[in-house]
A and B are shown apart, each in its own frame.
Chain A
Amino acid sequence: MTADLTSLLAAWTDRLAALAPALTAAERPFRTQLTVRTADPSALGETLGVGFPAVPCTFTSGAGAEVLWLGPDEFLVVAPEGVNEEVVRGALGSSRGSVVDTSAQRTAVDLEGPHVRDVLAHGCAVDLHPAAAPAGTCVQTLLARTGVILQVRDGDRVTLLVRSSFAGYLAAWLCDAATEYL
């Protein structure tokens, strides 16, 4: 017998959904996340079918995967079904680097709506105006004193990646920060 999978923010589903239409907020749980350290990611990019970001604080997407810049030789691969630690480590071959499955480390929250930037501005000092943070921006920063990875997508959509143990706190903060726009 196996236990049913319960996502970290399962208890928050209704309260996050109640923020619509000012803010559409929903957890996107159970995604495969691989922390990759390599100075030369070109071979990995060919295997995964998506080029690795060459510019700091950006992410790339393609072939169902997303690759987030975390540092000059560090990336987070949010992998599609079928791509796991072994596959990416195999692609690394004999070149120096490491691939570690960190899926349990963070969960993702998708945010969308006209007040996304207003809500985030309550607790995030990074300039998220489209002129300063266009689609494809990926910053690691503090949101309400919680470390997050923040992906800016097109059309007022943002994805937050938050550490598992901070997820409940961040959900509570989002509900509070969005209240004035309801």
Chain B
Amino acid sequence: MQLIPCPWCGPREEAEFRYGGQAHVAYPEDPSALSDEEWARYVFFRENPSGPFAERWSHSAGCRRWFNAVRDTRTHELLAVYRAGEPAPEVTA
């Protein structure tokens, strides 16, 4: 089983984690000003890169903290993990 390095607990089995989709999707500054199309774009539209992708993960069976990870979608290799609030690191696949 793949090990995912939780920024708090260290490497743990993938089964302890939950996936949370794309990271760094900012909540609209003025939600009421958004058109239906803009709102749909915020709620439903996500990147789908072939390569490094910054994602949210939750260590749900461990410390239960959300953190971010950069995962290569082609190889499932985790290139970096970092705590919530920290900026996305520069990575090369």
Q: Name A residues whose Cβ lies closer than 8 Å to a Cβ of B.
A: 56-57, 70-72, 125-126, 139-142, 147
Q: Is the CB of B9 within 8 A of A142?
A: no
Which residue of chain A is the closest to B8 with respect to CB atoms?
A56
Q: Is the CB of B65 within 8 A of A72?
A: yes
With A56-B8, A71-B8, A125-B1 already in contact, the answer to whether A140 and B13 are too (CB < 8 A) is: no
Residue B64 interfacial (CB < 8 Å) = yes
State which of A56, A125, A126, A142 has its C-beta within 8 Å of the C-beta of B63.
Answer: A56
A-contacting residues, B50-75, CB 8 Å: 61-65
Say which size band chain B's interface belongs to: 10 to 19
Smallest CB-CB A-B distances: 5 pairs: A125-B13, A71-B63, A56-B8, A140-B62, A142-B61
State which of B1, B10, B13, B64 has its C-beta within 8 Å of the C-beta of A71.
Answer: B64
Q: In the complex, which residues of chain B have a beta carbon less than 8 angstroms from the beta carbon of A140?
A: 9, 61-64
Q: In the complex, which residues of chain B have a beta carbon less than 8 angstroms from the beta carbon of A126?
A: 12
Main secondary structure of the interface of A (DSSP, over half): strand
CB distance from B4 to the nearest CB of A (A): 12
State which of A72, A125, A142, A147 has its C-beta within 8 Å of the C-beta of B8.
Answer: A72
> What are 22 sample pairs from A and B whose C-beta atoms fall under 8 A apart?
A56-B8, A56-B63, A57-B8, A57-B9, A70-B63, A71-B63, A71-B65, A72-B63, A72-B65, A125-B1, A125-B12, A126-B12, A139-B9, A140-B9, A140-B61, A140-B62, A140-B63, A141-B12, A141-B16, A142-B15, A142-B16, A142-B61
Q: In the complex, which residues of chain A have a beta carbon less than 8 angstroms from the beta carbon of B1?
A: 125
Q: In the complex, which residues of chain B have a beta carbon less than 8 angstroms from the beta carbon of A147?
A: 61
Contact with A along B1-20 (1 / 0, CB 8 A): 10000001110110110000
What's the Cα separation between A142 and B60 when bound, in Å?
Answer: 10
Which residue of chain A is the closest to B62 with respect to CB atoms?
A140
A-contacting residues, B40-93, CB 8 Å: 61-65
Q: Is the CB of B8 within 8 A of A141?
A: no
Q: Is the CB of A141 within 8 A of B64?
A: no
Identify 8 new A-B residue pairs, CB closer than 8 A, beyond the known A125-B13, A140-B62: A56-B8, A57-B8, A70-B63, A71-B64, A72-B65, A126-B12, A142-B16, A147-B61
What's the Cα separation between A126 and B62 when bound, in Å?
Answer: 11
What's the Cα separation between A152 and B16 when bound, in Å?
Answer: 20
Q: In the complex, which residues of chain B have a beta carbon less than 8 angstroms from the beta carbon of A71?
A: 8, 63-65
Q: In the complex, which residues of chain A have a beta carbon less than 8 angstroms from the beta carbon of B65?
A: 71-72
Which residue of chain B is the closest to A124 with respect to CB atoms?
B13
